[in-house]
Amino acid sequence: MDKATALHTLEGLNKYSDDPDIQVATIVVNEQAGADHHNALGAWNGWVPDFPEELRNGSTIIHAEVMAIMACARQGLETAGATMIVNWFPCLHCAQLIVGAEFAKVICSEPDIAGKWADSHADALALLVRAGIEIEHWPELNR
């Protein structure tokens, strides 16, 4: 998937986000899945359809990276060796899942080193680097 298509797709997916504060979208691409199979999918931060209404709030919102990994599991898209493109920087929890799902590469914004996510982003960056996951920052994804 080329950069312009990815950026355009993320912008479109963002509109579905359930989070009023930070809209995050994710694309998973696995070129190894082959051209005749579906090799990409998109997700955004929010809740799965059967998530209880009364429990939906800012602290229960499911991060876009988690939603994408769940979608890969449901739709049978292999995450091992895949690339995740996300229009923010993964938090520590999402980085743990990215490592566990054996992604090869993450394309994202620069980590937030001053805001409320600073500690989580620092820990996530250290984990991703230590796990040998390639990280590419696209300035267009910075907020």
Between residues 67 and 82, which has the closer beta carbon with respect to Zn ion?
67
Please enumerate in sequence order all residues whose Cβ is within 8 A of that of 18, keeping only pairs 6 or more positions apart, or say none.
44, 45, 46, 47, 56, 61
Q: Measuring CA to CA, which residue among 2, 12, 25 is closest to residue 141? A: 25
The nearest distance, CB 90 to Zn ion, in angstroms, is 6
Amino acid, single-letter form, for residue 106: V
Cα 113 to the center of its chain, rounded Å = 19
Q: Which residues pair with 25 in a beta bridge?
A: 44
Between residues 32 and 60, which has the closer beta carbon with respect to Zn ion?
60
The nearest distance, CB 46 to Zn ion, in angstroms, is 13
The nearest distance, CB 135 to Zn ion, in angstroms, is 15
Between residues 22 and 33, which has the closer beta carbon with respect to Zn ion?
22
The nearest distance, CB 37 to Zn ion, in angstroms, is 28
Q: Which two tokens stand for residue 11?
A: 């912008």
Residues that bind Zn ion (CB under 5 A): 63, 91, 94
Between residues 26 and 30, which has the closer beta carbon with respect to Zn ion?
26
